[in-house]
Structure formats: structure tokens, C-alpha cells
């Protein structure tokens, strides 16, 4: 039986805080056993985890090679992950070998253990280039059945208005108005392309079949420029070190947009929207790296600064 990593147990219990979550964690080792046997795999290394899933390195029977078993916490946000992998068929992302949607489980091609975040540490230009090129590769025509990002536009607009009223913040009016304008102008009608939805350097892994492969997609249909914002948001803690912050931020955006063959202005607008949303989200729920106190306050203020300098 696998041992579920202690840190995964702790974060899942803290986040979910329900009896169902405790029961799911309790059952997880036997669920993994069952899937290994059904998909004819044997354990092949230490169990890893991300925010919502355990990743079990395995070897497939009959010399079919290395793979990983991913079992995610049953959450609506994880439903379309296998659909996205299936559409890509290995283009820019790991291959999907098996799926059990009821169990939120997948057998996936195994990529390298190093992420772009580790590999590219200190090289913001390199990270933006790789993420942009990958974004381009993943932007294939979207089939029916993937959730449309445009369907979230109304909820985003309502959320922004409610947050601005309920939460303390130091965003200038024009930053808030710009985010609302983005939702209205770019949110409601979007291209019919597949996008990752959570493209950042920890979800991009070093590999052999292609130099970099994406994991952990949300699998939306919509504007690929949206993921310029997920990338930029995830670089905030590195960009904070820059001597000239506006220059560093615009440079990262420009490099990403060029590599992704996207309109830079569209990438800037989505990034501005993400920054405003992230500032509110941080105030309400905290961040993974800081749940409260002065540290959280400092990060939220920095994200607000990002939002402001992305406003034109
Ligand atoms: N196919 C894979 N091959 C190798 N390592 C992987 C693979 N998928 C995930 N991992 C490792 O597990 C970590 C978490 O995986 P991820 O799918 O991002 O989980 P989560 O949804 O919990 O964030 C990744 O950052 C990576 O280190
Ligand atoms: Mg992840």
C-alpha cells in the first residue's frame, strides 16, 4: 500500500474541512491499489503530490514503459483534465493512457521530475519563452464538451463588483474599471480554442519526446491569451525582486505574447484582470505562501501594484 504524503493530507484536510475529505484520504491507498491492478502497473518510486492530487510513479506491464497514476480530489475544477489531454493526444502535453472519471484518476505518460520553475529559476525570459511556445502548441480547435471560459464572464463581473464593495483594497477605480472592461470586451465572446487554464512553470515538465510537456490542465475552450495572466501571476514572487518592476513585467508579457503568437495588448488585458482577481482572492482567502498577517498583506499590496501597472 502507498503511504499518502503527510503534507498532502494536511493541506487537503485544511482546505476541505469535511468528513467526506477525511474519508476520501482514508480510502486513497486502497483506491490506488485497485487502479494499479486494473491498469496492470507496479509502483516505481516515491509518491508525489501537487495541490489537489497525488502522483504515483509506476511501471506498466509488458514493457509498456514508465507512467504516473494521478488521483485528484473529486472537485468540479478537475473534471475536464482528462478531456484536455485526450484532445491534445500528446501535443505539448503528457499522453493520457487510461482514465476513470468517476474516481478522478488517470494513467499518464511520465515526464521528467524537474519543472520549468526549477529548471528556469532566475531566467524569467526563458520561462516566458517556454510557456509561450507551449501555449501556442496547446491552442488547437476546441471540441464540444469542454467548458467554455466565456460562460464564466457574468460570474467574474458579479464577483469583481461584490469584492470591490466588500473587501478593503487599495486598487484605484481605473484598475477596477479596466478589469471589468476586459471581462465585458474579451470575456463574453472568445475564440474556440483549447487552453490549459492554469499554465505556470510548476505545471510544465522537462521531457524527452518534446522538450517540455504540460500537466494539470483545467481544459477550457476560450482565449489562449487568458493564460498569459496565469503565467504572470505565478511569477509575482520572482518579479518582486526586479529593480525596475514595470519594465520586468512588460518584458515578461512581451516575450510570452511573441512566443505564443498572440496579440500583446490582449495578453496585457487578461493579465491585468488576473492581477485584480488575485488581489481580491488573496484578501478573502490568503495565498498558498501566506495565509494571513503582515506577510499576506505585503503580497496582496504587491499584486495590487501589478494590477495598477498593467492598467493603461
Ligand atoms: N506526468 C507526470 N510525469 C512526471 N511528474 C509528474 C507528472 N504529473 C505530475 N507530476 C509531478 O507532480 C507534481 C504535481 O502534479 P500536478 O498534476 O500539477 O498536480 P496538482 O493538480 O495537484 O497540482 C508536478 O509538479 C510534477 O512534479
Ligand atoms: Mg499543478
CATH of residue 15: 3.30.200
pTM of the model: 0.95
pLDDT at 203: 96
Same domain, 198 and 162: yes
Rounded to an integer, what distance in angstroms lies between the CA atom of residue 265 and that of residue 51? 31
Same domain, 302 and 169: yes
Same domain, 96 and 158: no
The reply to whether 260 falls in a domain is: yes
Q: Structural domain of residue 66, as residue ranges? A: 6-109
pLDDT at 59: 97
Domain boundary among 77, 109, 141: 109
Residues with CB under 6 A from ligand 1: 48, 50-53, 55, 68, 70, 94, 108-111, 113, 115, 202-203, 205, 215-216
The reply to whether 205 falls in a domain is: yes
pLDDT at 64: 84
Same domain, 104 and 123: no
pLDDT at 209: 96
Same domain, 90 and 166: no
pLDDT at 15: 87
Q: How many Å separate Cα 217 from the centre of its chain?
A: 6
pLDDT beneath 50: ranges in the chain: none
The reply to whether 141 falls in a domain is: yes
The reply to whether 1 falls in a domain is: no
Domain tally, the chain: 2
pLDDT at 174: 97
pLDDT at 1: 83
Q: Are 218 and 77 in contact (CB under 8 A)?
A: yes
Strands 105-109, 65-72: pairing is: antiparallel
Same domain, 59 and 154: no
pLDDT tens per residue, range 142-184 = 999 999 999 999 999 999 999 999 999 999 999 999 999 999 9
Q: Provide the mean pLDDT of the chain.
A: 95
Ligand number nearest to the C-alpha of 81: 1
Residue 292 phi/psi, 5-degree rounding, is: -175, -175
Domain boundary among 57, 74, 109: 109
Would you call 185 helix, strand, or coil by DSSP? helix
Same domain, 127 and 216: yes
Same domain, 73 and 98: yes
Rounded to an integer, what distance in angstroms lies between the CA atom of residue 196 and that of residue 56? 22
The reply to whether 225 falls in a domain is: yes
pLDDT at 245: 95
The reply to whether 61 falls in a domain is: yes
Catalytic residue among 83, 198, 223, 227: 198
Same domain, 67 and 140: no
Q: Are 72 and 101 in contact (CB under 8 A)?
A: no
pLDDT at 63: 87
Same domain, 245 and 165: yes
Same domain, 191 and 94: no
Mutate to test the pocket of ligand 1, among 80, 120, 205, 207 (most ligand atoms within 8 A of CB): 205
pLDDT at 290: 85
Q: What is the CATH number of the domain that holds 293?
A: 3.90.1200
Same domain, 292 and 152: yes
Rounded to an integer, what distance in angstroms lies between the CA atom of residue 139 and that of residue 260? 9
- Examine the residue annotation and report whether 198 is marked as an active-site residue of this protein: yes
State which ligand 1 atom lies nearest to the alpha carbon of 49.
Answer: 14
Distances (CA, A) of 167 to 155, 173, 250, 262: 17, 14, 28, 34
Mutate to test the pocket of ligand 1, among 50, 68, 90 (most ligand atoms within 8 A of CB): 50
pLDDT at 117: 95
Spacing, Cα 254 to ligand 1 middle (Å): 28
Domain boundary among 75, 109, 143: 109
Amino acid at each position: 500500500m502507498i503511504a499518502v504524503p503527510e503534507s498532502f493530507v494536511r493541506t487537503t484536510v485544511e482546505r476541505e474541512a469535511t468528513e467526506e475529505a477525511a474519508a476520501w484520504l482514508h480510502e486513497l491507498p486502497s483506491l490506488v491499489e485497485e487502479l494499479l491492478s486494473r491498469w496492470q502497473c507496479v509502483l516505481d518510486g516515491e509518491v508525489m503530490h501537487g495541490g489537489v492530487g497525488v502522483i504515483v510513479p509506476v511501471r506498466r506491464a509488458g514493457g509498456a514503459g514508465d507512467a504516473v497514476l494521478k488521483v485528484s480530489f473529486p472537485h468540479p475544477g478537475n473534471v475536464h483534465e482528462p478531456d484536455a489531454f485526450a484532445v491534445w493526444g500528446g501535443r505539448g502535453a503528457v499522453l493520457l493512457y487510461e482514465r476513470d472519471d468517476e474516481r478522478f484518476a488517470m494513467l499518464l505518460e511520465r515526464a521528467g521530475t524537474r519543472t520549468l520553475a526549477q529548471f528556469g529559476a532566475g531566467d524569467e525570459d526563458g520561462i516566458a519563452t517556454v510557456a509561450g511556445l507551449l501555449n501556442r502548441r496547446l491552442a488547437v480547435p476546441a471540441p464540444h464538451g469542454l467548458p467554455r471560459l466565456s460562460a464564466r464572464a457574468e460570474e467574474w463581473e458579479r464577483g469583481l463588483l461584490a469584492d470591490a464593495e466588500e473587501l478593503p483594497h487599495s486598487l484605484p477605480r481605473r484598475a477596477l474599471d479596466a478589469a471589468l472592461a476586459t471581462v465585458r470586451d474579451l470575456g463574453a465572446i472568445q475564440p474556440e480554442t483549447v487552453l490549459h487554464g492554469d499554465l505556470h512553470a510548476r505545471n510544465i515538465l522537462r521531457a524527452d519526446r518534446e522538450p517540455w510537456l504540460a500537466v494539470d490542465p483545467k481544459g477550457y475552450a476560450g482565449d489562449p491569451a487568458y493564460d498569459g495572466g496565469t503565467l504572470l501571476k505565478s511569477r509575482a514572487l520572482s518579479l518582486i525582486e526586479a529593480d525596475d518592476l514595470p519594465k520586468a513585467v512588460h518584458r515578461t508579457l512581451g516575450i510570452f505574447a511573441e512566443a505564443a503568437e498572440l496579440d500583446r495588448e490582449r495578453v496585457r488585458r487578461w493579465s491585468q484582470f488576473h492581477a485584480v482577481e488575485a488581489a481580491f482572492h488573496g484578501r478573502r482567502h490568503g495565498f498558498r505562501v501566506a495565509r494571513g498577517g503582515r506577510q499576506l498583506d505585503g503580497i496582496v499590496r504587491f499584486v495590487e501594484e501589478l494590477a495598477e501597472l498593467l492598467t493603461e
